[in-house]
Amino acid sequence: MAVAIAMCKLQYMVRAGTPKGEVVEEEALNFEELGLDPRLTRALLKKNIIKPTPIQHKAIPLILEGKDVVARAKTGSGKTFAYLLPLLQKLFSESGGPRKSGPSALILLPTRELCHQVHSEISSLLEFCRVQVMVVQLLSDMSVQDMNAALAGPPEVVVSTPACISGCLSKGVLQVSSVQDSLLMLILDEADLLLSHGYEDDLKNLVPLVPRRCQCLLLSATSSSDVEKLKKLVLHNPVILTLSDANHPEDEIIPKNVQQFLITCSFDDKLLYILALLKLELVQKKVLIFVNSIDMGFRLKLFLEQFGIRSAVLNAELPQNSRCHILEEFNAGLFDYLIATDDNKGRDQKSNDKPKKNSTKYLRRKLDKEFGVVRGIDFKHVFTVINFDMPSSPEGYVHRVGRTGRAYNTGASVSLVSPKEEKIIEEIKRILGDNGGNDMSNYIAPFPLLTTNAVESLRYRAEDVAKSVTRFAVRESRAQDLRNEILNSEKLKAHFEENPRDLDLLKHDKLLSKKAPAAHLLDVPDYLLDSVTKEARKMVKLSRAAMRINKTTKRTLFNKGFGKSRDPLKTFTAKGRSWKFKRNGNVGRRKRREGKMTS
C-alpha cells in the first residue's frame, strides 16, 4: 500500500517547475546572449519563454551562421523555435531589400495539423514583434485560385507539405524560376516521417530546384534510415547536432519525467480496464487515448458515454476545420478526454477490392492522407497518455508517449497490453533498456493503483454495456458524427469567422448514443470499492487540488449572452435584440410621460 501511494505521489504531485534539475544547465545562455534580435526576445518574454532549451541553445547560433544543420532531439524539446527564431531574424535583416519573385523560406512538414501548428506559432511571434513578414499556409485541398491568391505578393515564408508544393510546381502556381531565384532556407521538420508518409517522390522532384546557396535544415525526434537518406539527398556538409551534444550525455529515448506503466489484460477486457482507470479517477486529467482504428475510437466513445464519461474523437475522416477546432478545445481544457486514431498502418495497406462510389466503404476510405496526430502536435497540459491499442512499432510508442511530459513537465503513460501485443511491448522494453543500460523494469512498470478487486467490481456493468455497443451502433454513430462535423465545417464557416465566440457552442464531446446513460451507471457506489482504491483515488484528487487544476475553463465562461440550451442557429433574427430593447425603452418613456400628466 505504501509503495502504491508513493508512486502516486511521484507520478502526480511533482508538476510545477523543472523536475530534472540537470536539464537546465547553469551555464545556459539567455536568448539575448544567443544573438537574437531584441524584437524576438521581447516576443518570447510576452509568450513567457525565458530561457532557451538545450537544442535551441546549440542550434540557433549554428543556423545564424548559415550552416546546414541536422538536429535530433526528443519530442517536446523546443525544436520548432530552434529554427523559427533564426529564420525570422534573417528575414528581419533582409527587410527593405529588393522585392523577390518567390518565397525566401519553405517549411515542409508531414501533416496538415503540424502545418497549422507551425503557421500559428510563427504568426504569433510576428504579431508580438510587430514586423510585416508575410507567412502563408498551403494545403492540398485548396483551389488553384486560392493558391494563386496566397502566393501573390509573394510571401516570405510558405508552410506546407511536400505533396502540396510538388502540386503547386506542376500546376504552375509556383514558378520554378522564382524558387531558384528567391529561396534562401529549406526546412524539413519531422524528417523521419516525411518519407514514411510517401513524400519521397515529391522531395526528389523538389531537390534539383533548390539553389546551391540555400541553407537546409533537417529536424527529427529519432534517427532512422529515412533521415540518413534525406540528409544525403538535401544537405551539404551539415553539422550533426543531437541533444547529447548540448552537454546532456544522459539523454534518453523517453525522458525520465515521464513515468511509464502497463496493464496486462485480454483484448476483450480492455474496455473494462479503461473504465476502471477513468471512472475511479486513478489517472490524472487531461487524458489522451490512442486507438488503431476509427471504428474502435467510436466504440470506445459510445462505451464511455454510458458511464457519464464524455469524450471527443479525432481521426482522419473529419474535415480539417473540425480537427483544428477539436485540438483547440482540448488544449483550452473544455473537455478532459480525447480519443485519437493513430491509423498509420492503414495508410500503407492496399486492398484489391474496389467498392462502388456510393457504398459506405467508399465513403470511409476518403481519409485525409496528410492527417497525423501522433507526431509533433503540441497538446497542452496532457498529463496521461493511454495506449488502448498498442502501436505497431517501438517508434510509434515513443511518439505517442511524447505527447505528455512536454517542455520538461512530468507526465505518465499507461499501456493496455493483450497477449497478442506482448511481442511489441517486449521489443519496446528491449530498446528502452538497451538505451539506458539499466533494468528494463525501471522503464515500464505495472500500474500500481488498480487492484483486481476494483476491476472485478465493475465487470458486470462493463460487460453488460459493451454488449449494447454493436457494430451497427458504431457505424451509425460514426456516420452521424461525420455528418455533424461536415455541417459545422462547411455551412457555418463564414459565420464563425465573424463570430468566434459562437464557435464554442459547437461541442465536439456531444453524446452520440440515442439512449441517455442509465442513472445507476453514472456513479460507482462506495461498497464496490476496496480500501486501497479509495485511498489511491483520494490521493489523485488531493494532488490535483495541490496543482491548482480546476474547472475554470468551463463552457459557461464562453457562453455569456446565450441560454443554456440555445441553438446558435436560432439566435439570429432579422429584428435582433436592439429592436426589443428600443421597444421596451419607448414603453418606459411613455409611462413616465403619463405619470407627469396625471400629477
In this prediction the pTM is 0.65
Note the pLDDT tens digit of each residue in 291-326. Answer: 999 999 999 999 999 999 999 888 888 877 777 778
Report whether pLDDT(19) > 50: no
Residues contacting 190, CB < 8 A, separation 6+: 109, 110, 114, 219, 220, 221, 375, 376
pLDDT band at 480 (very low <50, low <70, confident <90, very high): confident
pLDDT at 515: 67
23-37, 171-185, 525-539 — which is least confidently predicted? 23-37
Residue 93: helix, strand or coil by DSSP? helix
Mean pLDDT of 515-536: 74
Give 539 or 298, the one with higher predicted confidence: 298
Q: Which residue has the higher pLDDT, 494 or 23?
A: 494
CA atoms within 13 A on the CB side of 305: 24
Confidence band for 498, pLDDT divided at 50, 70 and 90: low
Give the pLDDT mean for 71-92. 87
Write out the E strands in 431-536.
444-446
Q: How many CB atoms lie within 10 A of CB 384?
A: 26
Structural domain boundaries of the chain? 28-245, 258-346+366-555
C-alpha cell belonging to residue 536: 489511491
Helix (H, G, I), strand (E, B) or coil at 107: strand
Distance separating alpha carbons of residues 521 and 165, to the nearest angstrom: 52
258-346+366-555 shares the fold of 28-245: yes
> Residue 14: its pLDDT value, please?
38
Q: CB of 43 within 8 A of CB of 125?
A: yes
Cell numbers at residue 305, please?
Answer: 458515454
pLDDT tens digits for range 369-424:
555 555 556 678 889 999 999 998 888 888 888 888 776 678 899 999 999 999 99
552 versus 210: which is more confidently predicted? 210
Output the pLDDT for position 377.
67
Of 577 and 275, more confident: 275
Which CATH architecture does the domain made up of 28-245 adopt? Answer: 3-Layer(aba) Sandwich (3.40)
The mean pLDDT value for 552-574 works out to 45
Average pLDDT, the chain: 76
| Res 4 pLDDT > 70 | no
Q: Classify domain 258-346+366-555 at the CATH topology level.
A: Rossmann fold (3.40.50)
* 417-476 per-position pLDDT tens digit: 999 999 999 998 888 774 444 544 457 899 999 999 999 999 999 999 999 888 888 888
pLDDT tens, position by position, 25-66: 334 578 888 889 999 999 999 988 888 988 899 999 999 999
Higher pLDDT, 343 or 231: 231
pLDDT of 487 above 90 = no
Give the containing element (helix H, strand E) for 432.
helix 422-436
